[in-house]
Chain A
């Protein structure tokens, strides 16, 4: 069954990304697809602060944030039952990290088409 874009479930998404241009593009791309964006949070502390008061449908995480790993955010998302995907240039970084290694990585530069399709699927299953 095919659905028109208007039937897709719109999601509230937390974006965690330290580069301002990549964050800007990601935010606008997600917004153009109709999603609501929280962030971009640029630091682990900023993302953790946001998750104190907000509960997004899903999160998109860069892994290396000014040299700090996003892992504490990933662990909190696990606990909260919020699915997340990664956008990292560094596969080695992810492989060695239990909090991250099970998650899908859309890489850098990020394949946004694939990312949006994956988010769409997430909306269909209703998390």
Chain B
């Protein structure tokens, strides 16, 4: 049965109409010209936690201690009667004493009675409170992901901007940039994937996967990392490897790297101590200026990780010591 059929039934005053109203799931009221309730269906009584006796025969605006005396609703109904217009999906939000803050779409329509004298109004209430809350939550989520996307673009821009151009061919630039971008993607994935955070060994294996045949891992205790530590630490490891390929032990066939780590206890504090030792590479000298790699490592470890880093350019190869506190969590 369509609403149209229902209106026809109601207009004809057919006895079936009452039965139809009763079975409908949607809260409905029929009002007389004086805004007095003629009919309230069970769905209405349920939705507004009221009884038939308290509703039928009472003026709408006096129901439930005047909880329906809503200026918008008054305005709406007073405009329906004189103009004989149907009003469809008019949104009203109101705080009801018994059922709380609700948002309804109200459809009101004048019903012509067969006797031609009395005029009644049928009001249909559609509760869209949950729909509104859901859509607000979706808006927040959308806004959040838009914000994150912009942030990520800003990060990519920072990488592109900081990747060295002086003395590099476009091909070299692209290779360096893409390696960093790949590392960013891997660490981003790791930081987001695990709710309890990723452990250090997993981070090492993931960020150094293209170098594993040349880097000997000497694992110690395997601490979990805070999400905020994953990217700065992963990117730093990647820069160490990149520099080793360009200038250090991995730039020659015989060179190799030892990567060991341990968790040390300093009183209450736990410190992750990482040692990166390059061997059998070319003789290295302290560079005359800070490149992107060492700059990023210094910035990440002392800034984002609140740790310490020492990069020694020994004759036998680069030796890097990184110490970061584990018992902190910014998020």
Q: Does B bind A? A: yes
Does B303 lie within 8 Å of A21, measured CB to CB?
A: no
Q: Which of B266-315 contact A (CB under 8 A)?
A: 295-296, 299-300, 303-304
Closest beta carbon of chain B to A85's beta carbon, Å? 15
B246 at the interface (CB under 8 A from A): no
| A55 lies within 8 A of chain B by Cβ | no
Whether a CB of chain A sits under 8 angstroms from the CB of B162 is: yes
Pull 28 A–B residue pairs with CB atoms less than 8 Å apart, ordered by A.
A19-B151, A20-B300, A20-B304, A21-B155, A21-B235, A22-B151, A22-B154, A22-B155, A24-B158, A24-B162, A24-B295, A24-B296, A24-B299, A24-B303, A25-B162, A26-B158, A28-B162, A40-B303, A42-B330, A66-B330, A89-B146, A89-B150, A108-B150, A108-B154, A109-B153, A109-B154, A109-B157, A110-B157
Q: Counting chain B CB atoms within 10 Å of each CB, which of A66, A90, A109 scores highest?
A: A109
The answer on a CB contact under 8 Å between B330 and A110 is no
**Using a Cβ cutoff of 8 Å, how many contacts connect chains A and B?**
70
Q: Determine whether B331 belongs to the interface, using a CB cutoff of 8 Å to chain A.
A: yes
Q: How far is the CA of A43 from the CA of B228 in the complex (A)?
A: 13
B143 lies within 8 A of chain A by Cβ: yes
Query: Cβ of A83: which chain B residues have Cβ within 8 Å of it?
Result: none
Besides A22-B155, A112-B161, 13 more A-B contacts (Cβ < 8 Å) are A20-B300, A21-B296, A23-B299, A23-B303, A24-B158, A24-B296, A25-B158, A25-B161, A26-B158, A28-B295, A42-B303, A43-B330, A108-B154
Q: A12 near B: Cβ within 8 Å?
A: no
In the complex, the answer to whether A20 meets B154 with C-beta atoms within 8 Å is: no
Q: Which residues of B in the span 132-181 have a Cβ within 8 Å of any Cβ on A?
A: 143, 146-147, 150-151, 153-155, 157-159, 161-162
Q: Cβ of A64: which chain B residues have Cβ within 8 Å of it?
A: 147
Known: A19-B155, A21-B235, A24-B158. A66 touches B331 (CB 8 A): yes
Give the CA-CA distance A40 to B302 in the complex, in Å.
11
CA–CA, A8 and B7, complex, Å = 79
Q: How many residues does chain B have at the interface if contact means C-beta atoms less than 8 Å apart?
A: 26
Evaluate contact between A20 and B150: CB separation under 8 angstroms: no
A110 to B184, CA, bound (A): 19
Asked if B232 CB lies within 8 Å of chain A CBs, one says: yes
Residue in chain B with minimal CB distance to A112: B161
Question: B231: CB under 8 A from chain A?
Answer: yes
Interface residues on A, range: 20 to 34
**What are the interface flags for A21-36 relative to B under an 8 Å C-beta threshold, 1 for contact and 0 otherwise?**
1111111110000000
Known contacts A42-B304, A108-B150; decide if A20 and B143 are in contact (CB<8 Å).
Answer: no
Q: Smallest CB–CB gap between B237 and chain A, Å? A: 14
Known: A19-B155, A21-B155. A109 touches B304 (CB 8 A): no
B137 to chain A, nearest CB (A): 16
A90 to chain B, nearest CB (A): 5
Kindly report which residue of chain B lies nearest to residue A18, judged by CB atoms: B330
Assembled-state Cα–Cα distance A110/B306 (Å): 26
For A25, the chain B residues whose CB sits under 8 A away are 157-159, 161-162
Cβ-closest chain B residue relative to A65: B330
Among candidates A23, A42, A66, A108, residue contacting B153 with C-beta atoms closer than 8 Å? A108
Alpha-carbon gap, A20 to B227, bound state (A)? 13
Cβ of A3 within 8 Å of any chain B Cβ, yes or no, is no
Tell me if A92 is interfacial: C-beta within 8 Å of chain B: yes
Q: Which residues of A contact B161 (CB under 8 A)?
A: 25, 29, 112
Bound-state Cα–Cα, A64 to B143, Å: 13
Nearest neighbor of A27 in chain B, beta-carbon distance: B299
B303 with A109: CB separation less than 8 A: no
In the assembled complex, the Cα of A53 lies from the Cα of B78 at a distance in Å of 67
Q: How far is the CB of A109 from chain B (nearest CB, A)?
A: 4
Whether A20 contacts B153 by the Cβ 8 Å rule is no
- The residue among B154, B159, B162 with the most chain A CB atoms within 10 A of its own CB is B154
B184 contact set on A, CB distance < 8 A: 21
Residues of A within 8 A of B330 (CB): 18, 42-43, 66
Decide if B147 touches A90 in the complex (CB within 8 Å). Answer: yes
**Closest 10 interchain pairs by CB?**
A25-B158, A89-B150, A20-B304, A109-B154, A109-B157, A108-B154, A24-B299, A21-B158, A108-B150, A89-B147
Contact A20 B151 (CB under 8 A): no
Of the candidates B146, B157, B299, B331, the one whose C-beta lies within 8 Å of that of A20 is B299
